């Protein structure tokens, strides 16, 4: 990447991020986000995801280089005060992330649309078990999945809720999605599936009045759904930048070999 790229600094409201931003503000000639080629995002994973979601509404999405001044920082780089920020960005590797598009239809006929960078999950709203028909590319693959719910995860989100639900970790660049049941009751032994990123996934809620289900695209919730369609968006492909030798794929490997 060229060192002449225009950089914008985007900072979380947290005290830690604001304090860490002061030296950076003085060390570089920053531009406004709308004028930038790359956004440098200070904060934690949650703030980076918030920034990415906001950018999905822009005419052009831009690469993001995250600096961890939050808690976990799985999607972020370490803070290297000894090296100029423009050099760090110039040397960084690109990782493409395609967000999911969630199209939900509620019981009263409303149609809603949201993006998800980590996962789309369907969850029972009451003590009643959710019952879902699972269709992929127009073909019914499971007439009835009964349990607490199900989720569809991107590779970037596969170490989040998906992993907690015992779903598989997906390498970046695999162009695959994880379809993972949440506390399945029937079929009890079904562990989920790995499907191509190009697939269209559709869930139809069985007995929606008796067994209400909510659909959640990252933090956006739609209650009382009857139908949810999910596809990966190539049009809104996002780009994350990572330091050499400390890529997201390396972190995914580390997650799989923790003891």
pLDDT at 73 over 90: no
In the chain, which segments carry CATH 2.60.200.30?
A: 100-232
- The β-bridge partners of 183 are none
List, for residues 36-50, the tens digit of each pLDDT value: 999 999 999 889 999
The pLDDT value given to residue 2: 46
DSSP calls for 91-114: HPEEEEEPPEEEEEEETTS-EEEE
Across the chain, mean pLDDT equals 91
pTM: 0.85
d(CA 43, CA 69): 4
Where along the chain do the CATH 3.40.50.10330 domains lie? 7-98+236-256
Q: How far apart are CA 233 and CA 253, in angstroms?
A: 25
d(CA 199, CA 176): 9
Per-residue pLDDT tens for 173-213?
Answer: 789 999 999 999 999 889 999 999 999 999 999 999 999 99
Reading the block at residue 143, the tokens are 């007439």
The arrangement of secondary structure in 100-232, i.e. its CATH architecture, is: Sandwich (2.60)
Using a pLDDT cut of 90, give the percent of the chain over it. 70
Cβ–Cβ under 8 Å, residues 182 and 163: no
Query: Where does residue 218 fall: left (phi above 0), alpha (psi -120 to 50 degrees), or beta otherwise?
Result: left
Q: What is the pLDDT of residues 144-179, one digit of tens each?
A: 999 999 999 998 899 889 999 999 999 877 899 999
Cα 164 to Cα 161: distance, rounded to the nearest angstrom: 5
Strand ranges of the sheet holding 7-11, from the earlier edge strand across to the other edge: 7-11, 38-43, 64-68, 238-242, 93-97
Q: What is the pLDDT of residues 204-246, one digit of tens each?
A: 999 999 999 999 999 899 999 999 999 999 999 999 999 887 6
Q: Is the pLDDT of residue 82 over 80?
A: no
> Residue 2: left (phi > 0), alpha (psi -120 to 50), or beta?
beta
Catalytic residues, which ones? 45
Report residue 133's pLDDT band, with 50, 70 and 90 as the boundaries: very high
For the cut 60, the answer to whether the pLDDT of residue 124 exceeds it is: yes
pLDDT value, residue 58:
83
Question: Above 80 in pLDDT, residue 254?
Answer: no
Question: Known binding site for NAD(+): residues?
Answer: 45-46, 50, 118-119, 148, 156, 159-164
At the fourth CATH level, the homologous superfamily of domain 7-98+236-256 is Probable inorganic polyphosphate/atp-NAD kinase; domain 1 (3.40.50.10330)
How would you class 58 by CB atoms within 10 Å of its CB: exposed for 0-12, middle for 13-18, buried for 19 or more?
Answer: exposed
Which tokens in the block code for residue 34?
């709308």
pLDDT band at 1 (very low <50, low <70, confident <90, very high): very low
């Amino acid at each position: 990447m060229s060192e002449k790229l225009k950089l914008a600094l985007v900072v979380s409201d947290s005290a830690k991020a604001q304090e860490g931003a002061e030296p950076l503000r003085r060390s570089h000639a920053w531009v406004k986000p709308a004028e930038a080629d790359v956004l440098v995002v200070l904060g934690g994973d949650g703030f980076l995801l918030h920034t990415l979601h906001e950018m999905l509404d822009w005419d052009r999405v831009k690469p993001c280089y995250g600096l961890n001044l939050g808690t976990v920082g799985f999607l972020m780089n370490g803070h290297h005060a000894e090296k100029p920020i423009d050099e760090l960005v110039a040397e960084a590797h690109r990782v493409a992330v395609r967000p999911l598009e969630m199209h939900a239809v509620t019981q009263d006929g409303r149609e809603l649309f949201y993006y998800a960078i980590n996962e789309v999950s369907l969850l029972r709203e009451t003590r009643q078990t959710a019952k879902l028909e699972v269709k992929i590319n127009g073909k019914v693959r499971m007439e009835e999945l009964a349990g607490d719910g199900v989720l569809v995860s991107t590779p970037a989100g596969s170490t989040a809720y998906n992993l907690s639900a015992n779903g598989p970790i997906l390498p970046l660049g695999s162009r695959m999605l994880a379809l993972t049941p949440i506390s399945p009751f029937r079929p009890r032994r079904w562990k989920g599936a790995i499907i191509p990123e190009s697939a269209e996934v559709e869930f139809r809620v069985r007995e929606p009045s008796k067994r209400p289900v909510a659909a959640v695209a990252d933090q956006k919730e739609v209650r009382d759904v009857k139908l949810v369609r999910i596809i990966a968006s190539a049009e809104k492909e996002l780009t994350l930048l990572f330091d050499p030798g400390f890529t997201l794929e390396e972190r995914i490997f580390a997650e799989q070999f923790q003891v």
